[in-house]
């Protein structure tokens, strides 16, 4: 799956779309995706100007976006938004820097209704950069009555 197909499913857009390609996927089961990390990423302006490092929270977010794709590819979930609701056991093992290719391997552990639990791992050159357990809920893309702006 290439970027235009990803954009048809994920609601995220630049500068927050953090999945560039899907290498392989089994819907509702697992995904391997890719994020090309370039020096042009806006966050490198301040994190850190003399030694650019991809923020750990964005590595986790990229895993969550990949996990969301495994459900959004199904017709019943099209047009929904994956809302991140939890992170457990997050660990960061090596820095991710411009020029790296960040491979995102995510396995869905359990899907119950619109709630999903997943285990994610991000690697660079076959070294673990980060890993975490993720939880998200698929919600409506439309704001519901009573929700804050």
- Catalytic residue numbers, as ranges: 47
What's the CA gap between 125 and 92, in Å, rounded? 15
What's the CA gap between 12 and 61, in Å, rounded? 11
Q: At a CB cut-off of 8 Å and minimum separation 6, what does 98 contact?
A: 37, 38, 39, 41, 44, 52
Q: In this structure, what DSSP letter does residue 48 have?
A: -
36: helix, strand or coil = strand
């Amino acid at each position: 799956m290439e970027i235009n197909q990803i954009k048809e499913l994920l609601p995220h857009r630049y500068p927050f779309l953090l999945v560039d390609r899907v290498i392989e996927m089994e819907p509702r089961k697992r995904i391997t995706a890719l994020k090309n990390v370039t020096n042009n990423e806006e966050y490198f302006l301040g994190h850190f100007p003399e030694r650019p490092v991809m923020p750990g929270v964005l590595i986790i977010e990229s895993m969550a976006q990949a996990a969301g794709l495994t459900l959004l590819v199904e017709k019943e979930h099209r047009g929904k938004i994956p809302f991140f609701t939890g992170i457990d056991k997050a660990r960061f093992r090596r820095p991710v820097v411009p020029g790296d290719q960040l491979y995102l391997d995510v396995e869905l552990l359990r899907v119950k209704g619109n709630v999903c639990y997943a285990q994610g791992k991000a690697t660079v050159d076959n070294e673990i950069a980060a890993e975490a357990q993720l939880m998200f809920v698929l919600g409506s893309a439309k704001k519901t009555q009573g929700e804050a702006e």
